[in-house]
Amino acid sequence: MADVQPTQQPKKRPKKPPPATERADLATLYCLQATARCALDGCAVCAHRICQHGAPGRPLPPPQRPESCPRVVDESPGPDLGQLYGGCRVLTVGDGDLSFSVALAERGECASLTASTLEPDLETLQREYDGLDVRGHARRIDDVRYGVDARRLSFDESFDRIVFNFPCLPVSDGKDGNSEGSGKADASAIEENKALVRAFVRSAVPLLAPGGEIHVAHKTKEPFSWWGFPCLVSHALLTYRGALVFDRAAYQPYANRKARDRKSFSAIDAVVYVYARDGAGAPPTLPPLASSNGAPSPFYEGALPPARDVVTSRRVCRVVRLDAELMARVREASLAAASASSRKKRRKKR
């Protein structure tokens, strides 16, 4: 009798437990009202922006591509940029394909905008981002400076906002020493990137007007969390104000790009760290650090206005401080939207 081989069962991968993380930095974490509203309306992208993960035992529906956020689908970025940068003299540094500066130029209502990039000229920048319309972007901005090293900023004027989105050393072909998801990263590249941020801040502070702010967008997942924000930036003249959940839908047509590589990267976990210089100037992006007596800040909207009213106030930037209750509402809205959509799909199939 022939031997009967036991049929090989495919090995079942042990299920990954859902990440048991709630965001830890709630006391200083804010989002735009628009992001909160969008998430409460069931947008899975914005739910991930706000909550990052589910709660233990209550994971969020799977993340979606940022293009599926309804505000991107409808090409309706809303008034947030005007509220964040309205009336400000803004300097952007290390812009990639210049699309961030285009968003500010066209909808930021800035008093002035100076865009800058490390690349020595437009031709080189266009070559770095081959296939993207960098020339077209440059035409939409009045003042673009080339060959500007963020570590050695030198301008005659001062600024209310100096913005460096996703600072990262240009290495080659998008390889920047950060290998997201692998749990590994090149330690020396991280140190060099941290040095870049510190040198940028040292050279930017003297250019800040009273009350002026430095904004740095950065991812929060490992290995990016290993850079040590927000403490990475410390300067006698700066106060850390908090972090604003990065919501790409508000910055259209901005697409964040890798260094010297036309590829974009997921920024769903990103926040904008905000550091302010003392003094009275342009309205602050975020309120002073949560007061120790626990009183809500004047910016804190608590319960969101129920209607989709258009917020036009420029003096008070409409940001919402994240708290456990808001995050729980977002989670439930996202789960309800996901099950409504799968019910709809099932009905369609029948």
**At its nearest, how many Å lie between ligand SAM and the CB of residue 66?**
13
> Which of 45, 72, 91, 93 is in the footprint of ligand SAM by CB under 6 A?
93
Site membership for ligand SAM, residue 178 (CB under 6 A): no
> Which stretches of the chain are DSSP H helices?
33-40, 44-51, 70-73, 80-85, 99-107, 122-128, 134-139, 187-204, 324-349
Binding residues for ligand SAM restricted to 120-159, rule: CB under 6 A: 149-151
Site membership for ligand SAM, residue 256 (CB under 6 A): yes
Assigned token pair, 19: 């990440």
**At its nearest, how many Å lie between ligand SAM and the CB of residue 298?**
31
Contact 150, 112 (CB under 8 A): no
> Which of 66, 96, 212, 281 is in the footprint of ligand SAM by CB under 6 A?
96
Q: Output the CA torsion sign for 36, 41, 44, 47.
A: positive
How many Å apart are CA 328 and CA 326, to the nearest integer? 5
Nearer to ligand SAM, 268 or 326 (CB): 268
Tokens 């031709």 locate to 123
Site membership for ligand SAM, residue 227 (CB under 6 A): no
Nearer to ligand SAM, 33 or 252 (CB): 252
How many Å apart are CA 40 and CA 102, to the nearest integer? 29
Nearer to ligand SAM, 137 or 258 (CB): 258
For the chain, the helix, strand and coil percentages under 3-state DSSP, each to the nearest 5: 30, 20, 50
Q: Residue 163 phi/psi, 5° resolution?
A: -120, 125
DSSP for 323-345 reads -HHHHHHHHHHHHHHHHHHHHHH
Tokens 């079942």 locate to 12
Site membership for ligand SAM, residue 242 (CB under 6 A): no
> Which of 18, 70, 87, 170 is in the footprint of ligand SAM by CB under 6 A?
170
Nearer to ligand SAM, 126 or 334 (CB): 126
Identify the DSSP state of 262: E
Site membership for ligand SAM, residue 204 (CB under 6 A): no
> Which of 46, 69, 85, 95 is in the footprint of ligand SAM by CB under 6 A?
95
Tokens 């019910």 locate to 343
Contact 244, 214 (CB under 8 A): no
> Which of 118, 244, 282, 311 is in the footprint of ligand SAM by CB under 6 A?
118
Nearer to ligand SAM, 83 or 101 (CB): 101
Site membership for ligand SAM, residue 79 (CB under 6 A): no
Site membership for ligand SAM, residue 168 (CB under 6 A): yes
Nearer to ligand SAM, 45 or 327 (CB): 45
Please give the residue ranges that form the binding site for ligand SAM (CB under 6 A): 93-96, 100, 118, 149-151, 165-170, 196, 256-259
